[in-house]
């Protein structure tokens, strides 16, 4: 294992055991706090929350099943793994970052539409707060760590198949 594997693993554990459960808890709390006001429902707050939850669950699935194992596998110096199956970490991180940006947009949208007189308002505000104070900062740390390793860690460098510019060009073309 690369020396950096432990710090990556620690961050993954923090995301999986602290950050994601906290966000999931706040999603549940929104559901428990009763129905939406008619204004909120027709104004799309329920749709925004549904999209946000769907996006979050989707990111959770991809990270737990594909991204986190791929990152840890890349740190692993067992050559057999890398010869048979080399994940494109640049592209994976880029895909998850784009999903996070989508969530940021939905959070901004949510902030605009939540009406102050709503009984659910408090629980929705807590959800927004958990995204802004826990989820996004932790994801920034994760993305910074990956970017840092991509440029400095020899294990990553050896495992990279394509250059970052190639991955980005695919999306921006």
List of residues contacting other proteins (CB under 8 A): 38-39, 42-44, 47-48, 51, 54-55, 57-58, 61-62, 65-67, 70, 85-88, 91-92, 95, 98-99, 101-102, 105-106, 109, 113, 115, 161, 170-173
* Nearest approach, Cβ of residue 125 and other proteins (Å): 17
Distances (CA, A) of 133 to 24, 65, 158: 14, 25, 35
Closer Cβ to other proteins, 58 or 147, answer by number = 58
| Cα gap 73→67, rounded to integer Å | 10
Tokens 């695919």 correspond to: 170
For helices 89-113 and 68-75, give the axis angle rounded to 10 degrees. Answer: 150
Task: State in angstroms the smallest separation of the CB of 85 from other proteins.
Answer: 6
Q: Which is nearer to other proteins, 11 or 106 (CB)?
A: 106
Phi, psi of 22 (to 5 degrees): -65, -45
Pick the closer one to other proteins by CB: 88 or 141: 88
Which 8-state DSSP code applies to residue 28? H
Q: Residue 101 or residue 151: which is nearer to other proteins going by CB? A: 101
């Amino acid at each position: 294992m690369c020396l950096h594997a432990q710090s990556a693993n620690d961050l993954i554990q923090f995301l999986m055991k602290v950050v994601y459960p906290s966000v999931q808890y706040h999603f549940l709390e929104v559901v428990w706090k009763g129905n939406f006001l008619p204004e909120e429902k027709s104004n799309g707050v329920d749709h925004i929350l549904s999209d946000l939850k769907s996006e979050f669950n989707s990111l959770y699935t991809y990270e737990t099943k594909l991204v986190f194992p791929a990152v840890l596998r890349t740190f692993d110096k067992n050559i057999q793994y890398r010869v048979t199956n080399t994940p494109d970490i640049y592209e994976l991180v880029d895909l998850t970052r784009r999903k996070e940006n989508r969530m940021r947009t939905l959070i901004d949208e949510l902030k605009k539409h939540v009406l102050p007189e709503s009984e659910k308002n408090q629980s929705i505000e807590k959800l927004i707060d958990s995204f802004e104070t826990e989820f996004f900062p932790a994801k920034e740390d994760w993305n910074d760590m990956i970017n840092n390793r991509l440029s400095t860690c020899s294990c990553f460098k050896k495992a990279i198949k394509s250059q970052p510019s190639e991955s980005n060009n695919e999306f921006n073309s």
